[in-house]
């Protein structure tokens, strides 16, 4: 059994106020901090008042070698903290490999949970969150991308995708082609930052919304699942429709709003609306 401790520490996805007191403590107590970009992590540490920590950069190109070095430090009984540039390590960021190596060698692995853009976007989307799927970044091109788009289109659960700003329009267009126009989607941008914005609608409307724009900043796309999601029952749809109809909306408008709210196809909501007395 190893004697070292690896602590995965969640850091803010934009707003430094989201750095938790436990995260500061974990960073202060670490013998060494594994991070992606040492300059970025140093800024965070300065903000947190953590001084002179030993930083080790771990990124795609050196991960295997750095994991071996960090494992040696764990073997020596040290406390290793791991952060990524933002959010939770291991979520579309390095982390998984070091955790596997540490647990394999019998070291203790702890976590100080913090924000993650995926969960933040999911909960703010209003789409069913009881069961969901995290896709991270889609492959950029080729058959890998096409296959994944097909799988995402068939997925019944809400799907969360990360995307770089200059690729958001292309990905929305591809999702529109794969999933059809009525699929609900939320575009969550710059979460927790000054220009935070959450847009909700269908893929067709999202395509129009983005047309001619140059999206900037960090984006998460949250896509409603295929078909009637398990989270929305017929009773829930009827209840939501009645609320809109009682407020004076037409059946068509009520169906469109309820489809977006509950993440169900507009056709299904409209069918139920026409059957309501
Ligand atoms: N480990 C991070 C986490 O737990 O969220 C994710 C790292 S991944 C390399 C970076 C991607 O996360 C961005 O391209 C974007 O899709 C998403 N992201 C990170 N911060 C965000 C924010 N403040 N608002 C919206 N999306 C964000």
pLDDT in tens, 96-122: 999 999 999 999 999 999 999 999 999
CA of 275 to the centre of ligand 1 (A): 43
190 CA closest ligand 1 atom index: 24
**pLDDT, tens digit only, all 277 positions of the chain:** 679 999 999 999 999 999 999 999 999 999 999 999 999 999 999 999 999 779 999 987 898 899 999 999 999 999 999 999 999 999 999 999 999 999 999 999 999 999 999 999 999 999 999 999 999 999 999 999 999 999 999 999 999 999 999 999 999 999 999 999 999 999 999 999 999 999 999 999 999 999 988 899 999 999 999 985 556 788 889 999 999 999 988 999 999 999 888 878 888 899 999 998 7
CA of 215 to the centre of ligand 1 (A): 15
Taking only Cα atoms into account, the Rg of the chain, rounded to an integer number of angstroms, comes to 22
Edge to edge, the sheet with strand 219-223 lists 132-137, 158-163, 219-223, 184-189, 197-202
Q: How far apart are CA 277 and CA 274, in angstroms?
A: 8
CA dist 213 → 46, 92, 178, 189 (Å): 36, 26, 22, 14
Q: How far apart are CA 182 and CA 220, in angstroms?
A: 19
Torsional class of 130: left (φ above 0), alpha (ψ -120 to 50), beta (otherwise): alpha
Q: What is the DSSP letter of 16?
A: G
pLDDT at 228: 59
Is residue 163 within 6 Å of ligand 1 at its C-beta? yes
Is residue 221 within 6 Å of ligand 1 at its C-beta? no
CA of 183 to the centre of ligand 1 (A): 23
Sign of the CA dihedral 147, 149, 152, 153? negative
88 CA closest ligand 1 atom index: 4
Is residue 198 within 6 Å of ligand 1 at its C-beta? no
- Write the pLDDT tens digit of every residue in 209-238: 999 888 999 999 999 999 855 567 888 899
121 CA closest ligand 1 atom index: 25
CA of 72 to the centre of ligand 1 (A): 31
CA of 193 to the centre of ligand 1 (A): 12
pLDDT at 60: 79
Find out whether 262 and 247 touch, Cβ atoms under 8 Å: no
Q: What is the DSSP letter of 11?
A: B
Q: How far apart are CA 182 and CA 120, in angstroms?
A: 24
Q: How far apart are CA 39 and CA 236, in angstroms?
A: 50
CA of 54 to the centre of ligand 1 (A): 25
Q: Which of 272, 262, 271 is nearest to 158 (CA)?
A: 262
Is residue 125 within 6 Å of ligand 1 at its C-beta? no
Q: What's the gap between Cα 86 and its chain centre? A: 12
Structure-block tokens of residue 41: 């992590």
Is residue 44 within 6 Å of ligand 1 at its C-beta? no
CA of 117 to the centre of ligand 1 (A): 5
Find out whether 117 and 110 touch, Cβ atoms under 8 Å: no
pLDDT at 1: 60
119 CA closest ligand 1 atom index: 5
């Amino acid at each position: 059994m190893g004697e070292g401790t690896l602590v995965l520490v969640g850091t803010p996805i934009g707003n430094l106020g989201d750095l938790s007191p436990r995260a500061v403590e974990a960073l202060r107590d670490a013998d060494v901090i594994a991070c992606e970009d040492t300059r970025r992590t140093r800024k965070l540490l300065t903000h947190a008042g953590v001084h002179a920590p030993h930083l080790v950069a771990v990124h795609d190109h050196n991960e295997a070698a750095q994991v071996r070095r960090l494992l040696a430090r764990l073997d020596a009984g040290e406390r290793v903290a791991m952060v990524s540039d933002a959010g939770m390590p291991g979520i579309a960021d390095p982390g998984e490999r070091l955790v596997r190596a540490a647990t394999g060698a019998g070291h203790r692995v702890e976590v100080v949970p913090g924000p993650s853009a995926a969960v933040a976007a999911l909960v703010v989307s209003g789409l069913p969150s009881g069961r969901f799927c995290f896709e991270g970044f889609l492959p950029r091109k080729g058959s890998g991308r096409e296959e994944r788009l097909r799988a995402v289109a068939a997925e019944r659960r809400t799907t969360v995708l990360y995307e770089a700003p200059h690729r958001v329009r292309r990905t929305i267009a591809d999702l529109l082609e794969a999933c059809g126009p009525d699929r609900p989607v939320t575009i969550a941008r710059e979460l927790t930052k000054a220009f935070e914005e959450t847009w909700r609608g269908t893929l067709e409307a999202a395509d129009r919304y983005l047309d001619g724009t140059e999206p900037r900043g960090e984006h998460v796309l949250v896509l409603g699942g295929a078909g009637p999601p398990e989270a929305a029952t017929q009773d829930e749809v009827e209840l939501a429709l009645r609320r809109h109809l009682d407020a004076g909306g037409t059946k068509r408008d009520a169906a469109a709003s309820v489809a977006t709210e509950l993440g169900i196809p507009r056709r299904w909501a409209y069918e139920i609306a026409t059957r309501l007395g």
